Copies of this chain bind each other. A is one copy, B any other.
Amino acid sequence: MRLLFDQFMKKCEDGSWTLLPSFNYKLIYRDQDVSTLMNAYFPTASELGNKEKLSQAQLFGTNFKDGLGFEYVMFYNDVEQRIVCVFQGGPHLQGMPGFLHGGAIATMIDITLGMSAIIAGEIVMTANLNINFKRPISLRSVVLINSQLDKIEGRKLFFSSNIQSIDEKILYTEATGLFIKLDPEKKLDIKELLVNSTPPA
């Protein structure tokens, strides 16, 4: 994993790729913005959601001890509008004995495509995920999650994604994702988002 990280960091030097905030960073979403949008689109749901903005609330997938859960780093290529996520799933993500749970794979695809949407400057919600699980992924193996923005139609962003072995010889998973912009007028300031993200302590 370290080796792959170094390879991508090298690619970042000429500006063609960008390192994104990863699993152990805290992405500073502007909660206020998101709440306003959610209220506009889902008034009843938001009433409930607002009540549940508890001190206990925590981003799904971040409650694992080091090495046991979701560990990943993402790189972004601006020209090709694609993200490569280097992902290693820990032993607490087990489904079948020795392998990743389908839900854990779906979660990583949602996270990677969601980040692609954020990079496109949009506040979005997942509307559809269609995932083909082709081969099981063993716990602790390092894999590549590729995410590509295919097209934007009005408020809809269409992504395609796959999960491959690091030598790109094994195709584990193929997926498409549809995300809906909550507000077509509103753009996230990605630079601000990246700068304000908190690195690990």
Which A positions have Cβ atoms within 8 angstroms of B?
Answer: 29, 31, 34-35, 38, 42, 45-46, 48-54, 56-61, 63-64, 68-69, 90-104, 106-108, 110-111, 114, 125-133, 135-141
Contacts and interface: CB of A to CB of B under 8 A. Distances in A.
Given A38-B98, A97-B34, A139-B49, A91 B56 contact: yes
Dominant secondary structure of chain A at its interface with chain B: mixed
**Copies of this subunit:** 2
Contact of A136 (B42, B96, B114, B135): B42
B138 A48 contact: yes
A60 B95 CA distance: 6
Contacts of A42: 135-136
Contact of A106 (B31, B52, B106, B141): B106
Given A63-B92, A103-B111, 10 more contacts: A45-B137, A51-B98, A53-B98, A60-B92, A101-B107, A102-B107, A102-B114, A102-B126, A103-B108, A127-B132
Contacts of A95: 59-60
